[in-house]
Amino acid sequence: MSPNPLVSALSGRPRVLLAVALGLTVLTLGQCRHAVQNPPAAAPMATASAPTPPPIAPPTPVAPAPAAPTPALDPIAASNLVSDIAERAVQSVVNISTTRIVRQRSAAIDEPAFRGFFGDPEERSRRENSLGSGVIVGDDGIVVTNNHVIEQASEIQVKLADGRIFEAKLAGADPRSDIAVLRLQGKVEGLQTLALADSDRLRLGETVLAIGSPFGLAQTVTQGIVSAKGRADMRIVDYEDFIQTDAAINPGNSGGALVNLRGELVGINTAILSRTGGNQGIGFSIPTNMVRPIMSALIKNGRVSRGWLGVGIQDLDTELQQAFGSAKGVLVSEVQPGSPADKSGLMRGDIVTKVDTTTVDTSGRLRNLVASHEAGTHIKVEFVRAGKALTVPVVLGQQPGTQAAQRGTEEAGAAIAGLQVAPLSPQLRRGLRLPPQLQGLVVVDVTEDCPADKAGLRRGDLLLEVNHHPVVSVDELARAAQGGRVLLFVLRNGHSRYALLQP
């Protein structure tokens, strides 16, 4: 997946952050008063002999007194409200510092033709440090942050607002949503946690606070509004449903908190849209309703199992709405043979309108809904076919990439311990945006501290060669990796490099 050139991640590495700016709207209700006029006094009775008096002129109307203005909301009281919330929330936001070891060797010198002149290339290593933020969500020491904050870290240290410092272990990470969960080590007590709100209740224009550690400046608070909801297709990560905000965010804010004025966590700050690498008022936060199930899965299993429907989908534009006679829903453009969708009877041209009780009107929302369920989950899919509303039950399958990764681990065995790979399927090729001429094996997971991890391999790397032999299957990998050291030729983000795995 090619990263959006305008989007930067928010950690302290050469990535950037997110943004929000807050305003209070004071609504004054006017009051009105109504003056009541006294009726004129009755004229005295005239006697028969008295002359007829001239007509009495009506009294001059009394103008109503001007209404007293209703006192406006005290700006000091409004400021105190924000301050109270900010001072409580910062106690739950932590500073995360990480260290990772980067090992490099010269690819040119490592070629056999050069070894006779230079001998075996010397491996060089260096330590890289980075800063980020996190949020305490469990009084047992559970901290939520971004995956890119702790990615490939060999050491993770967490500093609390009260100055205490803890070592942290990774409970689990999900690069496809950029969410990671840490567990503080040692004696943890007296932690201030943030409650997770129902982020679906956020409203446009609602005031929010962004809290984090930009440039290492811990417990920094900025305020802004919710600029938009449900931002997807930003090409930041695979699964996106971002809250857009204009709070000022800078490097180091990644993994920090987005808080509403009830003092609840509504999002994890993740990225900004910027042409300069700095804050330009467009930032993105992962909503808590997406964070919650992923966090639970990572704590329980250390990984996320996502359901699979097996359809190609697209949004309905105006022309497609007219062609299919439907204004709402998501168009099914492809049904993979043998997939859960195929088994349930879904067909190309169907328009999906609901999953269980949740309405879907964009392809991104449908994709996120399906992925929020584990494989084996029973769901109901409502759709329209030829103008008729239908409902079918579906048992979600396991995503093919996950199955391939498990098979690859079993078949590769001890060939490359700790390295999980998958054949380059059409789905993976599309997801990684690889051209059709490239062939190889996709790295889907790397065990911490294994030889592949020490050599710097990452999820999403494409293995092109192993010991100078092209590999397109797990069997070829196992045969080519026999022996002692293993030389890998790897493609990452359009750039190729060599990596040497020591036994």
Six token digits for residue 129 = 């440090």
Average pLDDT over residues 69-94: 80
pLDDT single digits (tens) 337-389: 999 999 999 999 999 999 999 999 888 889 888 988 888 999 999 999 989 99
The answer on 352 and 404 residing in a single domain is no
pLDDT of residue 41: 45
Measured CA to CA, the distance from residue 326 to residue 284 in angstroms comes to 31
The answer on 277 and 187 residing in a single domain is yes
Who contacts 373 (Cβ-Cβ below 8 Å, separation ≥6)? Answer: 306, 307, 379, 396
Which of 361, 382, 398 delimits the end of a domain? 398
* 63, part of any domain: no
Pick from 17-31, 105-119, 139-153, 481-495 the range whose average pLDDT is largest: 139-153
* 55, part of any domain: no
110 is catalytic: no
* 40, part of any domain: no
pLDDT of residue 5: 47
pLDDT single digits (tens) 178-187: 999 999 999 9
Measured CA to CA, the distance from residue 331 to residue 320 in angstroms comes to 9
**Lowest-pLDDT choice from 163-177, 264-278, 346-360, 418-432:** 418-432
The answer on 215 and 146 residing in a single domain is yes
The more confidently predicted of residues 72 and 126 is 126
The more confidently predicted of residues 3 and 454 is 454
The answer on 497 and 424 residing in a single domain is yes
In the chain, the number of structural domains is: 3
Nearest one of 219, 197, 220 to 267, comparing CA atoms: 197
The answer on 436 and 381 residing in a single domain is no
Q: Which of 178, 445, 453, 461 is an active site residue?
A: 178
The DSSP H or E segment spanning 87 is helix 75-89
**Lowest-pLDDT choice from 16-20, 94-98, 478-482:** 16-20
Cα 90 off chain centre by = 21
Who contacts 14 (Cβ-Cβ below 8 Å, separation ≥6)? Answer: none
Evaluate whether 209 touches 222 at the Cβ level (below 8 Å). Answer: yes
Which of 242, 268, 300 delimits the end of a domain? 300
Evaluate whether 86 touches 221 at the Cβ level (below 8 Å). Answer: yes
The answer on 333 and 238 residing in a single domain is no
**DSSP for residue 20:** B
Measured CA to CA, the distance from residue 188 to residue 71 in angstroms comes to 48
Average pLDDT over residues 259-276: 90
Which of 300, 330, 365 delimits the end of a domain? 300
The answer on 280 and 245 residing in a single domain is yes
Measured CA to CA, the distance from residue 137 to residue 445 in angstroms comes to 27
The answer on 390 and 288 residing in a single domain is no
The answer on 445 and 488 residing in a single domain is yes
**Domain harbouring 448, CATH code:** 2.30.42.60
Which residues are bridge partners to 487 per DSSP? 500
489: left (phi over 0), alpha (psi -120 to 50) or beta: beta
**Domain harbouring 209, CATH code:** 2.40.10.120
pLDDT band at 90 (very low <50, low <70, confident <90, very high): very high
The count of C-alpha atoms lying within 13 angstroms of the C-alpha of 481, restricted to the half-sphere facing its C-beta, is 25
The answer on 222 and 91 residing in a single domain is yes
Average pLDDT over residues 460-465: 88
* 52, part of any domain: no
* 481, part of any domain: yes
pLDDT band at 71 (very low <50, low <70, confident <90, very high): low
The answer on 266 and 160 residing in a single domain is yes
Query: How many other C-beta atoms lie within 10 A of the C-beta of residue 261?
Result: 16
* 41, part of any domain: no
Domain around 420: 400-501
* 59, part of any domain: no
Q: Which of 97, 148, 285, 372 is an active site residue?
A: 148
Q: Which of 254, 274, 285, 339 is an active site residue?
A: 254
pLDDT of residue 4: 53
The answer on 393 and 410 residing in a single domain is no
DSSP reduced 3-state for 376:
coil
Nearest one of 102, 97, 100 to 154, comparing CA atoms: 100
* 83, part of any domain: yes
**Lowest-pLDDT choice from 77-91, 154-168, 190-204:** 77-91
pLDDT higher than threshold 50 for residue 18: no
Cα 45 off chain centre by = 88
373 is catalytic: no
pLDDT of residue 67: 54
148 is catalytic: yes
pLDDT higher than threshold 60 for residue 14: no
**Domain harbouring 348, CATH code:** 2.30.42.10
